[in-house]
Structure 1
Amino acid sequence: MQGKASSSITEGEVTWKLPGNGEEVRTWYKVVGDLENSHQLPLVALHGGPGAGHNYISPMADLHSKFGVPVVLYDQVGCGRSTHLRSKTGDEGFWTENLFVHELDTIVDHLKIRQRGFNVWGSSWGGMLAGVYASRRPEGLQKIVIASGPCDMKTYLECVNKLLSELPDPIRQTLEDCDKRGDIESPEYEAASLEFIKRHVCRVDPLPDDVMATFNNLKEDPSTVYMTMQGPSEFRVIGNLKNWEATSRAHNITAKVLLTNGRYDEAQNSSMEGWSQKIPNVEWVVFEDSSHTPFWEEREHYMDVVGRFLIGPALIYCNCRDKNYDI
């Protein structure tokens, strides 16, 4: 049942050992709500990037005030307020999905929410991680939301480069030229990137402070995680995610799944379609006035859709599943 909840915020850190070498690292987290006494299952929220930090997904805490859902936010290892491990920059064998799955399991067990049950929501890279996590059928996982998380990197890149080609010529040419030269820190490149962001990442003007904080996280430490796993930009993926795909594993997901993305999203419908085609129990909602962050752009509507999915047996509609899309 939907209900109002008073705000209760707890911050903490969990210290855990890295698989393999046993080095101790810290993961910072924040819990909005009461994990022990809530009538609703907790939601663990996974940010994107990789390496972006939790800041830009802060609106997900609305699910607590609106539906009574306790929400767990955390900075994945390698960014934000967690251990950065800059010594691992460029180590593609270290920065893998297995590391982040292990971290997520560590958070779940530290907060003691596995036995009762929990849900997972993930944005962008966090959505990719949520899908991988669910395909492993972890104990206690009930539902997941994959928010603008593509099912394979190849299709995602086709989408992004199509959007790049549709930009006004001066913006497109600046992005392409700077990218070829490796000049991604120049004022010209940053200005052109901002135009892409305002069209396909977050269409709220001006950009919210928490969104800007995430960009600052990436700017302060672009190499440790983002450069290693992704690459120099959204348009050129040369890190260890370049051949990433989950299409071959999506059929293993037994949890209930909600897919969300925006009409103007850099994660276009075709990049989400693999999830829809392979997951047995899936719903899909496209937010018509949004891009990559509908939880900012259509905040109230987004929380209503996600909240009803989390606390109810299923959504009452789906506006994408049986349609075909051009890339």
Structure 2
Amino acid sequence: MMHEEGYIEVTGGRVWYQLFNKNSANTPVIILHGGPGSSSYSLEGLQALQADRPVILYDQLGCGRSDRPNDQSLWQLDRFVEELALVREALKLDEVHILGHSWGTTLAAAYYLTKPSGVKSVIFSSPCLSAPRWEQDQIENLKTLPKEIQETIKRCEETGTTDSEEFKAAIHEFNKRFVCRVESDPEWIKKGSCYRNPEIYNIMWGPSEFSVKGNLKSFDCTSRLNEISCPTLFTCGRYDEATPASTEYFSTLVASGKIHIFENSAHMPYFEEKEEYLQVMGNFLKTIDSN
């Protein structure tokens, strides 16, 4: 199958993309990675969706294989929304499905609410559609961890020592429960970490997962989810930091909202339950294309 890759000019620099199965007549799906400031690296398994359609993966500006301009004013939600519009335009994606994961769902929602044409469906995978609600959920999640881990995280946040080894060890325990519940290949993780840009995460979110101090602090689009009129799928893991309760709540606000929970996953079902994830996504997209 046809695979191309290259760069697209956007505000502030160039973003790197991959396009799989270009010549398929079915509606393409564009994948929006998490972060902010991670990359499409850990989602590369989703290229398997090319069995039915074109698949586009791209690294948002500032991370992955895209340009890394040294300009902090670029790290704003609106610019990422504009970037997505430019990627669509450059690749002539007149009709498109959008699959966002984690921060990618924040971006997907903000983009959809600009009322672009030709969006056939949206998949919110492990959604963050309200920063205040996410923060609240993490406070609740933390309470399920051993007391000393809770105290370490709280202390390091208060003293600004979130880059200390003890904070990293405490976060590791949190991650084992709420981010990824299967052992992943350390080499794979090591390779992925060079694609991240912690500065973007810090500016937009903050120094840690648990308290939003960045410019996304007040992001909350729940009151506008009723404006989504295309078929919409909400998914998360049973143990996800994007909690099943919040994910379900979001799904009730969209007229055509469906929900699927991956029973053996946390925040990375595309890795933790790869086959089921691909099946659920693939079936949802096929159903829409056949209507």
Coarse TM-score class (shorter-chain normalised): over 0.9
TM alignment of 1:92-107, pairs within 5 A: 94-107=74-87
Counterpart secondary structure, 2:247: helix
Q: Which residue of 2 aligns with 1:203?
A: 181
Deviation for aligned residue 1:213:
3.9
Q: Which residue of 1 aligns with 2:198?
A: 222
Deviation for aligned residue 1:142:
0.4
Q: Which residue of 2 aligns with 1:321?
A: none
Deviation for aligned residue 1:169:
2.2
Alpha-carbon separation, structure 1, partners of 2:232 and 2:240: 19
TM alignment of 1:65-84, pairs within 5 A: 67-84=51-68
- Does 267-276 or 209-218 show the bigger shift? 209-218
Percent sequence identity over aligned pairs = 36
Runs (5+) with no aligned partner, structure 1: 1-5, 19-23, 316-327
Q: Which residue of 2 aligns with 1:13?
A: 7
Counterpart secondary structure, 1:260: strand
Match of 1:305 among 277, 280, 283: 280
- Residues 1:208 and 1:301: Cα distance change in structure 2 (over 3 Å): farther
Q: Which residue of 1 aligns with 2:259?
A: 284
Q: Which residue of 1 aligns with 2:26?
A: 40
- Does 275-284 or 169-178 show the bigger shift? 169-178
Q: Which runs of 4+ in 1 moved over 6 A?
A: none
Alpha-carbon separation, structure 2, partners of 1:298 and 1:205: 12
Deviation for aligned residue 1:144:
1.0
- Residues 1:109 and 1:59: Cα distance change in structure 2 (over 3 Å): same
Q: Does 1:124 align with 2:75?
A: no
Alpha-carbon separation, structure 1, partners of 2:60 and 2:218: 22
Match of 2:89 among 88, 91, 109: 109
TM-score (norm 1): 0.83
Match of 2:240 among 262, 265, 270: 265
Alpha-carbon separation, structure 2, partners of 1:110 and 1:215: 28
Counterpart secondary structure, 1:58: helix
Counterpart secondary structure, 2:182: coil
Alpha carbons 2:36, 2:204 under 8 Å: kept: yes
Alpha-carbon separation, structure 2, partners of 1:104 and 1:176: 36
Alpha carbons 1:54, 1:80 under 8 Å: kept: yes
Alpha carbons 1:136, 1:252 under 8 Å: kept: no
Alpha-carbon separation, structure 2, partners of 1:77 and 1:154: 25
Counterpart secondary structure, 1:244: coil
Q: Which residue of 2 aligns with 1:60?
A: 46
Letter in 2 for 1:58: E
Deviation for aligned residue 1:186:
1.8
Letter in 2 for 1:284: I
Letter in 2 for 1:85: P
Please tell me the root mean square deviation across aligned C-alpha atoms, in Å: 1.9
Alpha-carbon separation, structure 2, partners of 1:290 and 1:245: 25
Q: Which residue of 2 aligns with 1:240?
A: 215
Letter in 2 for 1:144: V
Counterpart secondary structure, 1:177: helix
Letter in 1 for 2:104: G
Alpha-carbon separation, structure 2, partners of 1:307 and 1:253: 21
Counterpart secondary structure, 1:307: helix
1:103-150 residue CA offsets vs partner (Å, 9 max, x unmatched): 011111111121xx1111000000111122222331111011000112
Deviation for aligned residue 1:216:
4.0
- Residues 1:153 and 1:208: Cα distance change in structure 2 (over 3 Å): same
Q: Which residue of 1 aligns with 2:18?
A: 30
Counterpart secondary structure, 2:13: strand
Deviation for aligned residue 1:168:
1.6
Alpha-carbon separation, structure 2, partners of 1:75 and 1:187: 29
Alpha carbons 1:120, 1:144 under 8 Å: kept: yes
Match of 1:136 among 114, 117, 120: 114
Q: Does 1:189 align with 2:167?
A: yes
- Residues 1:275 and 1:254: Cα distance change in structure 2 (over 3 Å): same
Runs (5+) with no aligned partner, structure 2: none
Alpha-carbon separation, structure 1, partners of 2:174 and 2:185: 13
Alpha carbons 1:137, 1:252 under 8 Å: kept: no
TM alignment of 1:142-153, pairs within 5 A: 142-153=120-131
Letter in 1 for 2:55: V
Counterpart secondary structure, 1:249: helix
